[in-house]
Chains A and B, each alone.
Chain A
Amino acid sequence: MSRYALRFVALGYLLMLLIIPIGMVLYRTFQDGFGPFWDAIQQPDAMHALKLTLEVTLIAVPINTVFGIVFALMLVRHDVPGKAFWNALLALPFAVSPVIVGLGLILVYGRTTGWFGDDLAAQGIDVIFSVPGIVLATMFVSLPFVAREVMPVLREIGSEQEEAAATLGASNMQTFWRVTLPAIRWGVIYGVILTTARCLGEYGAVAVVSGKIIGETETGTVFVERAYQGFDKVGAYSVSVVLALMAIATVAVMSLIKPRREA
C-alpha cells in the first residue's frame, strides 16, 4: 500500500506543480483555435521580442559553452591554486538573485553611475538599456551550467585516455578534439540544454538592465509579463508557448546527436 501512496504523492506533486499549470497555458492559448495564437505572435512587438530572445540565446549559449568547457578543464585537469574559491565563484549566479545581477551590471556599465559606462558611450557603445546589457545579464545567469555538468564527467573519465592519446603522439589540441570532447559530450549536451533553457526564460536580470523598451529591448519573457499585466492574455499565452517550443526544440536537436554504444 505504501508503495502506491508514494507514487500518488510523487505524481500528484508533478501534476500540481508542472502538468496542470503548463496544460492550462496550452489550453488558454488554443481555446479558440489556432487563429488567435497565430495573430498574437504575428504582432510586431511579439515578433521582435521573440527574435531578440533568440538572438541573445544564440550569442550567450556558444560563449558560455566554450567558457564552461575551458573552466571545467582548468579546474579538474590543471593544478590551479584556489580551486575551492573558483568553484564557489562559479556557484554565484545560482546564489545571487538575477535582479541583483542586473543592478550590478548597471553599477558597472551604466552611464553616469557606472565605471566604464561613459567611456563605452564615448565609443558609441551602449550597454545598459540596450542589447549588449541583455546579453551580459543573460550570460551571467546562465554561466555555470556547462561547467557544472562537464566537471563531474571529466573527473569520472579520469585522465588516462588523454595520457594514452599523448603517448600515441596526439598534441594537446588533437587530444581535446579526438578524445576529451567525445568523452564529455553528454555533459556538454546537458549543459547546453540547461543553458539554453535559462537564456530563453531569463526575466529578472534582463528586466532590470533592458529598460523594457517595447519593440527595442523587450525580450520574450518581458513581453509575456507586460502583455499579461495589460490584459492581452492571448498574447501572453501565445508568446509563452513559443518560448516553451524553443526550449523543446533545443532538447530535440541535442538528442539528434545520437548515443553510441559504449560503456
Chain B
Amino acid sequence: MAIHARSITKRFGDFVALDDVSLEIEDGSLTALLGPSGSGKSTLLRVIAGLERPDSGVVLLGGNDVTSLPAHRRGIGFVFQHYAAFKHMTVAKNVAFGLEIRKRPKAEIKQRVAELIELVHLDGLGDRYPSQLSGGQRQRMALARALAVEPEVLLLDEPFGALDAQVRKDLREWLRRLHDEIHVTTVIVTHDQEEAMEVADSVVVMQRGRIEQEGPPRELYENPVNRFVMSFVGPVNELGEALVRPHDVEITLSPNGTTMAATVERVVHLGFEVRVHLVLEEGTPMTAQLTRDEANRLGVENGAEVFVRPRAVREFGDDDSMAAVEEGVPAPVPSVTDPERRAPEPL
C-alpha cells in the first residue's frame, strides 16, 4: 500500500520535530528513513502509524486520508526498538494478539501463529515468556506479531538498534529476504547508514525535521546534494570547503605537482580494506582507504613519509543545495573529519 505524507509539521513544545515534510513511498517498496537523532525520522514514522498526531499535514495510506484515524484502525504493523513485548504473555500469545483482537476462529489463530513462529525461526519457543528470550529472538517475535495481522504497511522504528553487531547483521539480511518474499510496503527508521544502504531500495536522509535527499542508496552515495548527506552516507575528509572520500585519497611514494606531503600515523588492517591515518604537513589529519594489495605494494607503515592526492573532491555551495565535482584539485587549507567520531549517537 502506497504511503503519502503531505506537508507534515509536528512540534514538541518549542522543538520542531517535523518541518513541512512531504514524502511518497511506493507500494511494495522497502524504504529507509536515515538521519541522526532528533532529525525527525522516528516522529515521521509514528505520524504515519497514527501514534503521533501531526500539527498540520495529511497522511494517506493507499490513497485514503487517515490523518484523523487512530492507530488501531490503520491496519499497519509496527516494530519498536525495544521490542514492546507483552511481558505477561507467552511468545505464542504475543503473536496471536492481533488475531484475537480481530476475533478470528481459534483453529485459524493456532495455525497462523504456528506458521509465523516458524517464519521467524522461533520454533519450539512458543510457550516461553519474553524474558526467557534473547534480544534478537524478542525482536523476531515482535516482527511475527506485527506480521500476524497481514498489515499492508510494515513500519520499523530502529528495530535492530538494541542488538549486537552480528545479530543486527543477520536480522537485517533476514528482513531483506522476508521483504522479497512478502512484498509488504516497509519503512525502516535507522541512524546507521550501512544498515539503510544494505537493506533499502530507497533511502530518505533527514536532518532537523526536514528531508535532505531521497533516492536509491547508490544515488545518494554518488550524488549527494549537500555536505550533510555526503558526510552522513559515508566517511569523508574535509579539505577546507571540499569533501573527499577516504577511498578517493591516493597515496604515492614520490611527489608530483599536485601532491601534499604527509606522515603515516597509523595503519589499520580491516581484512580486504586497509585504512591509513595520515597527518598532512600543515598538521591536519586525513584518512585514506586502500585495498590490501595497494597497501602492500606501497609498503605503508607507521611513521612513513608519503605523498597524498585526492582523486575527486566535492564542493557544495553555501546554500547546501549545489554540488560540484572537481577532479584532483586539493583545497588550500585541509582539515579532516573522522567518520567514526562524527557518527551521531542514537537517542
Residues of A within 8 A of B (CB): 160-161, 163-171, 174-175, 178-179, 182-183, 260-263
Decide yes or no: A167 and B88 within 8 Å by CB, A174-B101, A263-B130 being known contacts.
no
- Inter-chain contact A167/B72, CB cutoff 8 Å: yes
- Inter-chain contact A171/B129, CB cutoff 8 Å: no
Interchain CB contact (< 8 A) of A167 among B77, B82, B131 = B77
Q: Closest Cβ of chain B: how far from A134's Cβ, in Å?
A: 37
Decide yes or no: A167 and B87 within 8 Å by CB, A261-B131, A263-B131 being known contacts.
no
When distances are taken between beta carbons in the complex, the residues of chain A under 8 Å from B149 are 168-169
Interchain residue pairs with CB less than 8 A apart (21): A161-B85, A161-B86, A164-B80, A164-B84, A166-B71, A167-B71, A167-B72, A167-B74, A167-B146, A168-B146, A168-B148, A169-B101, A178-B101, A182-B86, A183-B88, A260-B88, A261-B132, A262-B129, A262-B130, A262-B131, A263-B131
When distances are taken between beta carbons in the complex, the residues of chain A under 8 Å from B245 are none
Contact of B51 with A by CB under 8 A:
yes
Q: How many residues of B contact A (CB 8 A)?
A: 32
Contact of B276 with A by CB under 8 A:
no
When distances are taken between beta carbons in the complex, the residues of chain A under 8 Å from B142 are 164
Please report the C-alpha to C-alpha distance between residue A171 and residue B74 in the assembled complex, in whole angstroms. Answer: 12
B155 closest partner in A (C-beta): A167
Contact of B189 with A by CB under 8 A:
no
Contact of B98 with A by CB under 8 A:
yes
B145 closest partner in A (C-beta): A168
Please report the C-alpha to C-alpha distance between residue A43 and residue B39 in the assembled complex, in whole angstroms. Answer: 74
Contact of B70 with A by CB under 8 A:
yes
B77 closest partner in A (C-beta): A167
* Extra A-B contacts (17), CB below 8 Å, given A163-B84, A175-B72: A160-B80, A164-B80, A165-B97, A166-B71, A167-B78, A168-B98, A168-B148, A169-B102, A170-B101, A171-B72, A178-B97, A179-B86, A183-B87, A260-B88, A261-B131, A263-B87, A263-B130
Q: Closest Cβ of chain A: how far from B49's Cβ, in Å?
A: 6
Q: Closest Cβ of chain B: how far from A173's Cβ, in Å?
A: 11
- Inter-chain contact B72/A182, CB cutoff 8 Å: no
- Inter-chain contact A262/B97, CB cutoff 8 Å: no
Q: Closest Cβ of chain B: how far from A4's Cβ, in Å?
A: 37
- The secondary-structure label for the interface of chain A is helix
- Inter-chain contact A160/B131, CB cutoff 8 Å: no
Top-5 shortest CB links A-B: A263-B131, A168-B98, A167-B78, A164-B84, A160-B84
Number of CB contacts from chain A to chain B under 8 A: 80
B88 closest partner in A (C-beta): A182
Contact of B242 with A by CB under 8 A:
no
Q: Closest Cβ of chain A: how far from B235's Cβ, in Å?
A: 34
A171 closest partner in B (C-beta): B72
When distances are taken between beta carbons in the complex, the residues of chain A under 8 Å from B51 are 163, 166-167
Q: Closest Cβ of chain A: how far from B219's Cβ, in Å?
A: 31
Q: Closest Cβ of chain A: how far from B148's Cβ, in Å?
A: 8
When distances are taken between beta carbons in the complex, the residues of chain B under 8 Å from A179 are 86
Interchain CB contact (< 8 A) of A163 among B77, B78, B131 = B78
Please report the C-alpha to C-alpha distance between residue A174 and residue B101 in the assembled complex, in whole angstroms. Answer: 8
- Inter-chain contact A164/B86, CB cutoff 8 Å: yes
Decide yes or no: A163 and B80 within 8 Å by CB, A168-B97, A174-B101, A261-B129 being known contacts.
yes
When distances are taken between beta carbons in the complex, the residues of chain B under 8 Å from A164 are 78, 80, 84, 86, 142, 145
Q: Which residues of B55-110 have CB atoms within 8 Å of chain A's CB atoms?
A: 70-78, 80, 82, 84-88, 97-98, 101-102
Decide yes or no: A163 and B129 within 8 Å by CB, A168-B101, A262-B88 being known contacts.
no
B148 closest partner in A (C-beta): A168
Q: Closest Cβ of chain A: how far from B313's Cβ, in Å?
A: 45
Q: Closest Cβ of chain A: how far from B329's Cβ, in Å?
A: 51
Q: Closest Cβ of chain A: how far from B46's Cβ, in Å?
A: 8
When distances are taken between beta carbons in the complex, the residues of chain B under 8 Å from A161 are 84-87
